[in-house]
């Protein structure tokens, strides 16, 4: 409860999949009742989903992702399936039945040499089966990153909730467009580099055999003076980069995606509101270099009430007279961030941003407290 709030680990809602893994989920009514209970008590809610289980397809899994956003979960954790000793899916006959294909990836910095023997931890990840392809896996892996960045790290959640409620495109569809921009359009080169770098990192951490993975890690270890190299924490590293290092192109790119999705129906008022929400998302995040910097933003919508109602209605339902937003720091936030700065000797770099996302819990403490004058 203190870490992720009320957690309902649905994993999957595909009837065939549930039967294959001998699992039964709670009913829709029970889910709705639990979410309503948590909302009244201001308790955040989380669901955990797993892609790659038997009979699951890319389409069925994306449908579950979108139902989870519609239900109003505050955090949606999207995992990929990995195989380990002792589970039923690791039996040879079960692997063959569902045509389970896997690749190996290292576990962060879990490798070393001990008494002359090189040791490396790994995960064996399911990358295709009878019902989904390797390309489907990569596509869902990109969605995994976006759901993590928006729902867990708080990346531009105001904007994405706005665009979800103001168009017929689902949130997964929006995330897919963000990670796979139409290359026939003109985009900032830094944006295209980011999405290309992410895909290369995802595919680069995967090996066909454990032996290949161990050999690659051993080479890194030896070339690094018998020490570990860069850890493979793709989601949090790229999440930190997206949030803190890629702000130069963010407003322009998100506004262009809004125009693309809205098409002929989009108005200048819609675009201006979208840009204001991008600005809100940027100002809400605490500036490590200027913790006490005074910030100001005036909006014509009650965004706090919109959030309390789990973004279930379009933002136009919350129109009000113009009112300024206050961006405040409380004692706990100030103490945590000052502690981070002291431990890093005020050296703010890419590693610092990743450490901040890892160490500050809950991660909402990296954001200002919002209120009205």
In the sheet with 75-80, reading across from the earlier edge strand, the strands are 6-11, 45-51, 75-80
pLDDT at 69 over 90: no
pLDDT at 159 over 90: yes
pTM of the model: 0.90
Residue-wise pLDDT for 283-297, tens only, equals: 999 999 988 888 889
> How far is 311 from 305, CA to CA, in rounded Å?
9
Q: What is the pLDDT of residue 110?
A: 85
Report the mean per-residue pLDDT for the chain.
90
> How far is 162 from 171, CA to CA, in rounded Å?
10
pLDDT at 186 over 80: yes
When pLDDT is averaged across residues 194-207 and rounded to a whole number, the result is 95
Choose between 66 and 292: higher pLDDT. Answer: 66
When pLDDT is averaged across residues 261-275 and rounded to a whole number, the result is 91
Q: What is the pLDDT of residue 244?
A: 96
- The number of helices, as runs of H, and strands, as runs of E, in the chain is 15, 9
Q: What is the pLDDT of residue 43?
A: 87
High-pLDDT (> 70) share of the chain, %: 98
When pLDDT is averaged across residues 328-342 and rounded to a whole number, the result is 93
Residues facing residue 372 across a β-bridge: 325
Produce one character per residue of 224-237: b if its CB has 16 or more CB atoms within 10 Å, e if not: eeeeeeeebbbbbb
Task: Give the pLDDT band (50/70/90) at residue 192.
Answer: very high
Q: What is the pLDDT of residue 231?
A: 65
Q: What is the largest CA-CA distance in the chain?
A: 70
Residue-wise pLDDT for 54-64, tens only, equals: 999 999 999 99
Q: What is the pLDDT of residue 320?
A: 94
Question: Which residue in the block uniquely carries the two structure tokens 């990929």?
Answer: 80
Q: What six digits make up the tokens of 233?
A: 């924490």
Q: Are 239 and 155 in contact (CB under 8 A)?
A: yes
Q: How many CB atoms lie within 10 A of CB 110?
A: 15
Task: List the one residue out of 7, 26, 283 whose CA is nearest residue 152.
Answer: 7
């Amino acid at each position: 409860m203190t870490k992720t709030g009320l957690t309902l680990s649905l994993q999957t809602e595909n009837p065939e999949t549930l039967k294959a893994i001998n699992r039964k989920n709670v009913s829709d009514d029970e889910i709705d009742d639990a979410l309503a209970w948590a909302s009244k008590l201001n308790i955040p809610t989380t669901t955990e989903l797993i892609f790659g289980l038997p009979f699951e397809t890319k389409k069925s899994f994306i449908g579950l992702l979108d139902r989870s956003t519609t239900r109003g979960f505050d955090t949606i954790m999207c995992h990929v399936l990995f195989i380990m000793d002792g589970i039923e899916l690791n039996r040879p006959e079960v692997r063959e039945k569902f045509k389970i294909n896997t690749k190996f990836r290292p576990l962060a910095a879990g490798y070393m040499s001990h008494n002359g023997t090189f040791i490396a931890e790994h995960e064996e990840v399911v990358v295709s089966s009878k019902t989904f392809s390797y390309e489907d896996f990569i596509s869902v892996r990109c969605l995994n990153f976006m759901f993590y960045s928006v729902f867990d790290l708080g990346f531009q959640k105001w904007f994405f909730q706005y665009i979800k409620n103001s168009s017929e495109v689902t949130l997964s569809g929006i995330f897919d467009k963000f990670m796979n921009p139409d290359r026939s359009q003109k985009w900032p080169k830094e944006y295209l580099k980011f999405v290309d770098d992410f895909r290369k990192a995802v595919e680069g951490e995967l090996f066909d055999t454990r032996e290949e993975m161990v050999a690659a890690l051993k080479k890194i270890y030896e070339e690094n003076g018998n020490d570990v190299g860069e850890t493979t924490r793709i989601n949090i590293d790229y999440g930190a980069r997206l949030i803190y290092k890629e702000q130069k192109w963010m407003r322009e790119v998100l506004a262009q995606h809004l125009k693309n999705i809205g098409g002929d129906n989009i108005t200048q008022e819609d675009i201006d509101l979208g840009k204001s929400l991008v600005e809100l998302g940027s100002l809400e995040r605490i500036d490590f270099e200027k913790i006490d910097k005074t910030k100001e933003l005036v909006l014509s919508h009650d965004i706090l009430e919109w959030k309390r109602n789990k973004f279930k209605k379009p933002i136009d339902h919350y129109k009000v007279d113009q009112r300024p937003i206050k961006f405040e720091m409380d004692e706990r936030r100030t103490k945590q961030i000052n502690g981070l700065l002291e431990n890093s000797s005020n050296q703010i770099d890419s590693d610092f941003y990743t450490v901040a996302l890892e160490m500050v819990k809950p991660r909402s403490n990296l954001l200002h407290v919002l209120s009205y004058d």
